[in-house]
A = this chain, B = another copy of it.
Amino acid sequence: MGSLKLQSFSVDVGCFPKFRVKKGNARSLLVRGSAVSSPQSVQDADLKVQKLKKAVRVGVLGASGYTGSEIIRLLANHPYFGITLMTADRKAGQSIGSVFPHLITQDLPDMIAIKDADFSNVDAVFCCLPHGTTQEVIKGLPKGPKIVDLSADFRLRNVDEYEKWYGQPHGAAELQKEAIYGLTEILREEIRNAWLVANPGCYPTSIQLPLVPLIKERLISLENIIIDAKSGVSGAGRGAKEANLYTEVSEGIHAYGITNHRHVPEIEQGLSDALQCKVTVSFTPHLMPMSRGMQSTIYVKMAQGVTIKDLYQQLVSTYEDEEFVKVLEKGAVPHTRNVRGSNYCFLNVFPDRIPGRAIIISVIDNLVKGASGQALQNLNLMMGFPENTGLQYQPLFP
């Protein structure tokens, strides 16, 4: 099916890339970068052409939230993905510039209600809808488009677990079986062949990236994994809530969702999978006065005879060929602001004062690697493009 679709955009049109994509490899690709463009007047014409010609027609469902706008930002410089459909029920009829003035220069279709969307014209869909509404929506979509769902609706394989944590029955249990969990670096091959990817939550991403390889290699104890996580406010979305007002958030910190944050079953599912062994974690998220960024400080006990150096080496060897997961130099402390706006995860591991224990720190931008960036990374894979396409933004600091 993927190849069918690929054919549909491998046509050669003028200055636009003539290319052939073989599944999973980009070797014989003939590509022209879009990074260079001509003066504005020429460029405008170009843009139109280019817009028509972008090979993959992408729909963004729920485009008026922060993960939606982040998809749009990332696709702005993507050479193959062009947005041809945007839905936002409460903003239907509005332009992107009126909903997100920072994207006013983007030439995009107006938002429409999801019920008015014509999915026959899209090759892929980013689904940025709220948890609990997505199962029905995706069930109702025509077969064909590849889907990356950024909600939690397809992340838990066990539909009872879903019901328990989300307070409502799973609405698409049969589709759940086909959904692939989109933690790219860990499940790359499965994702490549998937048509429905459940994009991981932000906390689970920042936690599983360091822990899964360590658990797989039996380097850390499965008991008493204690995770103290800190998130920026954008993780709470753009909905108007008193708790997220500037005045309520700035200049302070507090924990929330202690023992019952909905990312817990997702984290435990991922860690349990690593060794096929049930893991229960201690997970305490905190809300920070920052818009973007997430840090997980993870306190673990090393397995008998294992040293910090072993943990470090394992992480280095797991990620040495990865573009987006970086194990820092020994002793260097990951800062959230050093990955802001980028798809990077920075990691490191430190000895604890308590003998036999280690402290692992990982940082991501919750809206990029923790949401829309990883979603794009996944769709690139699913469509047969190099995984980093459109994702090579360096972090914005300061």
Contact = CB atoms under 8 A, between A and B. Distances in A.
Nearest to A319: B40
Contacts of A43: 15, 323, 386, 388
Contacts of A259: 350-353, 359
Interface string A38-73: 111111011000000000000000000010010011
Contacts of A329: 97
A238 interface: yes
A92 interface: no
Interface residues of A, number: 135
A282 B299 contact: yes
Given A258-B359, A321-B39, A386-B36, A247 B238 contact: yes
Contacts of A36: 16-17, 26, 29, 31, 33, 79-80, 385-386, 389
B253 A335 contact: yes
A30 B42 contact: no
Given A258-B333, A259-B350, A386-B37, A394 B79 contact: no
Tallying the copies of this chain within the complex gives: 4
Given A105-B394, A259-B351, A282-B354, A240 B240 contact: yes
A326 B335 CA distance: 33
Contacts of A387: 39
A252 interface: yes
B253 A336 contact: yes
Interface in A231-282: 232-234, 238-242, 244-256, 258-259, 264, 280-282
A283 B299 CA distance: 10
B337 A290 contact: no
Nearest to A229: B228
A15 B286 contact: no
B39 A25 contact: yes
A228 B350 CA distance: 14
Contacts of A13: 14-15, 32
Contact of A398 (B37, B247, B254, B363): B247
User: A interface, by DSSP: helix, strand, loop or mixed?
Assistant: loop
A230 interface: yes
A393 interface: yes
Contacts of A295: 253-255, 286
A247 B234 contact: yes
Interface string A102-127: 11111000000000000000000000
A46 B29 CA distance: 14
A394 B321 contact: no
Interface stretch (A138-146, A166-174, A338-346): A338-346
Contact of A38 (B15, B39, B332, B363): B15
Interface string A305-339: 00000000000000001110010110011111111
B340 A254 contact: no
A347 to B, nearest CB: 12
A378 to B, nearest CB: 15
Contacts of A241: 240, 245
A132 interface: no
Contact of A292 (B97, B323, B398): B398
25 contacts: A16-B32, A24-B39, A25-B42, A27-B42, A33-B35, A33-B79, A35-B390, A39-B386, A40-B388, A102-B394, A104-B328, A104-B338, A224-B354, A226-B226, A230-B286, A232-B251, A240-B242, A247-B291, A251-B291, A251-B340, A252-B290, A254-B363, A282-B359, A289-B289, A292-B398
Question: Which 6 A-B pairs give the minimum distances between C-beta atoms?
Answer: A33-B33, A252-B337, A33-B35, A247-B398, A228-B228, A15-B32
